[in-house]
Amino acid sequence: MLIALVPLVFLGFNGFSKGKQMIEDKAASYLTNQAKRNAEAIKLFMIERVNDIHLISSIWDISETNFSAHIDQIVNDQHRPYVDVFIMTQSGQFVFSTGEEKIDSKVLEMAACDTLSWQGIKMPKIFSMTKNNNYIPVLMLSKPLSSGTVTKDRHFLYCLIDFRSISVLLRDNNMEATGEVYLVNEEGLFLSTSRFGAKILETKISMKKQLPEGNLPAYQAIDYRGKSVLQASQNVDPFGWIVMADQDMVEILNRIKTLEKKAFFYALITGGLVLVLAFFISTSIANMVKEKYQREKQMEFQAIQKEKLASMGLLTSGLAHELNTPLANALLYTQIALEEMEEQPFDKESISQHLLTVIDEIKHGSSVIKNLLYFSRHTQSDLQTVNCNDLLTKLMEITIPHCDAKNIHVEMTLMPDIPDVLADPSTLQSIITNLVANAIEAMPDGGVLTLSTRYIPVLKLVKIEVTDSGIGICQEDMSNIFNPFYSTKKPGEGTGLGLFISYEMARKLGGDLKVVSATQDDASKPGTNFTLELPTGG
């Protein structure tokens, strides 16, 4: 189920990353566009002012009585932010002024300074002057008038522009809760007010720290308030001004956090649905496998019952043969012994030999009966929970010395924390003991005996495997390996009931006993593997 979430987690993370990048790119693009657009607007503002001063100079004629009216019309236009327009001679004599107050001394000082020249217009740095007892940031534009004057002294036209109009222009571009646009010069001195309290010609920022190296569209910086912002800048050439557009990173990150919450919510819902669906599908598959296994077990059990009924004749005839032979031999040697005892003198040694043969035949018949009785007495009424690892460990403590004596190396691979099985302990021990004994007998020249356990959760089965590296079982014998009285050993060395009884006991415990084998002719590594399957006790 967890594997099913991996592609969804990958897609979700990829989608979130793209969404986060889109938010950052959108903010950066917007700030960059704001900086460029306002830089163009300021330059257009300056072009209009330069056109105004050219217009004024073109209509200047001191002899015309309507000159003053033309100037007043231009200056008093609500769209033209002029503080004053005046004409002054090169010697410093005032010829004309639209202002009612005296010219501020600061204006005269700036008029004498070396200034920037653009399109024939001189403009010094922005400065502040006093008007109506208020400090006003102004920009002074000046131009020499034509030589055709009433005096020989050359005249100059000066226009004082109220630079607060730039602040009004930029204030209209405030963005969301923390975004703002403002103007600074190359030294970082504010030329406009800001949304959060920066003052013209007073607040200053460090341009070395503010502007990054390279031509980046937007970048992170620390603004005049000491806050982290996403910032874009644009030069206003050729005036040496810079438009700054920025927005608090906190506000941008809040949008990303909102995206994170939505992504987490959708991921939680999707993950939950996937888990529920995966659990439903896996449970359905597990139930189908379990039902199929149980059906197969039931069909196999029914087939075995039929086979049992069909093989009753074989079992009866086999039992009759196994008992008839030793009984007939015992009877024969008893009669011979009696006949020899009637002879005088009788051979005591010969009679003893005959009687020992009788005892061996009776023991053989008794062994057959004992195995059949053991098989018939064990039922499922004796079932209890048994830990296979503990049982194998105790059994091998007894068996390992015997294996060492036969040059057999024992390897045990026991799965930890394996659940208990439902079985009769003595029956289970007998089955495993028989399998281990057969494995040891299959390796007369030594070899490797491997015992392992593992748990199959889906089928709730514990598997016990006994593997040897012996001579193996040929394919002709494999089909008869679990038949009663069938043995590959020499006559007199086995009853042929060991594997038959082990198989039947495994079936009675609700499990199964399977065998896989290969001889030297079939494979490069011969050997036999018996697998005992038992249901868990849970």
Q: Give the lowest-confidence range in 24-33, 158-167, 288-297, 333-342.
A: 333-342
Assign 89 a pLDDT band (cuts: 50, 70, 90).
Answer: confident
CATH number at residue 495: 3.30.565.10
Range 273-302 average pLDDT: 82
Residue at which a domain ends, from 377, 400, 429: 377
Are residues 319 and 211 both part of a single domain?
no
Query: Would you say 220 and 228 are in contact if contact means Cβ atoms under 8 Å apart?
Result: yes
Whether the CB-CB separation of 538 and 422 falls below 8 Å is answered with no
Q: How far is the C-alpha of 473 from the C-alpha of 494, rounded, in Å?
A: 16
∠365-369-371 over CA atoms, to 5°? 115
Cα separations (Å) of 157 from 5, 92, 100, 106? 77, 12, 17, 17
Do residues 402 and 370 both lie within one domain? no
pLDDT reported for residue 373: 60
Q: How far apart are CA 214 and CA 393, in angstroms?
A: 74
What mean pLDDT is predicted for residues 353-381?
63
Residues 6+ apart with CB under 8 A from 350: 340
Residue 304 lies in a domain: no
Residue 93 and residue 152 in one domain: yes
Q: What pLDDT, in 10s, does the model give residues 445-464?
A: 899 999 999 999 988 899 99
- Most confident range (mean pLDDT) of 101-110, 176-185, 354-363, 397-406 is 176-185
165 within domain boundaries: yes
CATH label of the domain that carries residue 345: 1.10.287.130
Same domain, 215 and 284: yes
User: Are 328 and 393 found together in one domain?
Assistant: no
Q: Cα separation of 371 and 498, whole Å? A: 8
Q: Could you tell me which of 115, 75, 118 has the C-alpha nearest to residue 98?
A: 75
What's the pLDDT tens digit per position in 413-437? Answer: 999 989 999 888 888 888 888 899 8
Averaged pLDDT score across all residues of the chain: 79
Q: How far apart are CA 387 and CA 294, in angstroms?
A: 23
**302, part of any domain:** no
- The domain tally of the chain equals 3
Greater pLDDT, 53 or 114: 53
Per-residue pLDDT reduced to its tens digit, 195-214: 888 898 899 988 876 676 65
State mean pLDDT over 18-35: 81
With contact defined as beta carbons under 8 Å apart, do 194 and 224 qualify?
Answer: yes
Tokens of 363: 């023991």
300 located within any domain: no
Is residue 13 domain-shared with residue 57, that is, in the same domain?
yes
CA 524 from chain centre, in angstroms, equals 45
Mean pLDDT computed over 128-133? 81
Say whether pLDDT at 328 is over 80: no
pLDDT at 150: 47
Look at residue 303 and tell me if it is in a domain: no
Residue 281 lies in a domain: yes
Flag the least confident range among 45-54, 77-86, 489-498: 489-498
User: Cis before residue 217, ω within 30 degrees of 0?
Assistant: no
Of the candidates 125, 236, 241, the residue with the CA atom closest to the CA atom of residue 185: 241
Write down the pLDDT at residue 493: 54
| Strand-pair partners of 420 | none
Q: In the listed set 335, 356, 377, which residue is the last one of a domain according to the structure?
A: 377
More confidently predicted of 252 and 326: 252
Which residues, 6 or more positions from 346, have their beta carbon under 8 angstroms from its beta carbon? Answer: 340
Residue 148: per-residue pLDDT: 47
Give the closest residue to 470 by CA, choosing from 440, 496, 498, 490. Answer: 440
Contact by Cβ (8 Å): 16, 259: yes
Q: What sign has the CA pseudo-torsion 455, 457, 462, 463?
A: negative
Q: Residue by residue, what is the 3-state secondary structure of 395-454?
A: HHHHHHHHHHHCCEEEEEEECCCCCCEEECHHHHHHHHHHHHHHHHHCCCCCEEEEEEEE
- Hey, is 367 helix, strand or coil? helix
Between 114 and 50, the more confident residue is 50
Residue type present at position 483: N
Please report the pLDDT score of residue 314 as a whole number. Answer: 46
Please check whether residue 305 lies inside any domain of the structure.
Answer: no
Task: Give the least confident one: 88-97, 99-108, 256-265, 303-312.
Answer: 303-312
pLDDT at residue 231 greater than cutoff 80: yes
Tell me: do 455 and 532 sit in the same domain: yes
**Both structure tokens of 160:** 């004082």
174 and 204 both lie in a single domain: yes
Q: How many CA atoms lie within 13 A of 35 on its CB side?
A: 25
- Asked if 332 and 442 sit in the same domain, the reply is no
With respect to residue 298, please indicate whether it lies within any of the assigned structural domains.
Answer: no
320 has a pLDDT exceeding 60 = no
Backbone angles phi, psi at 364, to 5 degrees: -60, -45
DSSP H/E element including 287: helix 249-310
In terms of pTM, does the model score above 0.85?
A: no
Mean pLDDT computed over 399-423? 89
On the question of pLDDT at 400 being above 50, the answer is yes
Q: What is the DSSP letter of 382?
A: G
Q: Are residues 316 and 273 in the same domain?
A: no
Is 235's pLDDT higher than 80? Answer: yes
370 and 403 co-located in one domain:
no
Answer with the one of 327, 355, 377 that is the final residue of a domain.
Answer: 377
Structural domain that includes position 340: 311-377
Instruction: Answer yes or no: do 261 and 397 share one domain.
Output: no
Q: Averaged over 145-162, what is the pLDDT?
A: 73
CB-CB contact of 431 with 471 (8 Å): no
